[in-house]
Amino acid sequence: MRFGRQRQVAAALAIVLLAFGLGRASAGNKSDTTIVGVFGVGGVIASDGKLYQYLPDEKRWMTIDEAFKSTRNKTPRETHILPLPVPVESIREMESWGFLITKEGQVWQYDLESNRWRDIGTP
């Protein structure tokens, strides 16, 4: 029960942060990016398949790879999360930036050690 409540609180926080972030970011951003999903807190999936993370301290959006490379990160690192391993329209659910399930039932995980996506199968 506690785990479910924590998820609800995290989801509510994510929605509030996204609403705040999207409003502020869209005020100065004239791009045609369409948001088709969310992940984690402050992360969005765009229709072009890019993952963006909103950085409240900088009041701006970065791609997930840029966020990992950023010096604000405790251990900046080069990642190749983008492009995603599947087209964005085939994603059923994406819980975090590195774990997704397709509509066809494939499960993909981004392996930080090998710096690539892996189809990890199903349980």
The model's confidence at residue 11, banded by pLDDT at 50, 70 and 90, is very low
Q: Which domain holds residue 36?
A: 2-119
The model's confidence at residue 4, banded by pLDDT at 50, 70 and 90, is low
Mean pLDDT, range 7-35, rounded to an integer = 51
Count how many domains the chain has.
Answer: 1
Q: What is the pTM of this model?
A: 0.69
Mean pLDDT, range 90-110, rounded to an integer = 94
Helix (H, G, I), strand (E, B) or coil at 34: coil
Q: Which residues contact 51 (CB under 8 A, 6 or more apart)?
A: 39, 43, 44, 45, 63, 64, 81, 82, 84, 97
Tens-digit pLDDT profile for residues 59-68: 999 999 999 8
Mean pLDDT, range 60-84, rounded to an integer = 88
C-alpha span between 101 and 93 (Å, rounded): 5
Least confident of 12-26, 35-49, 64-78: 12-26
54 in Cβ contact with 45 (< 8 Å): no
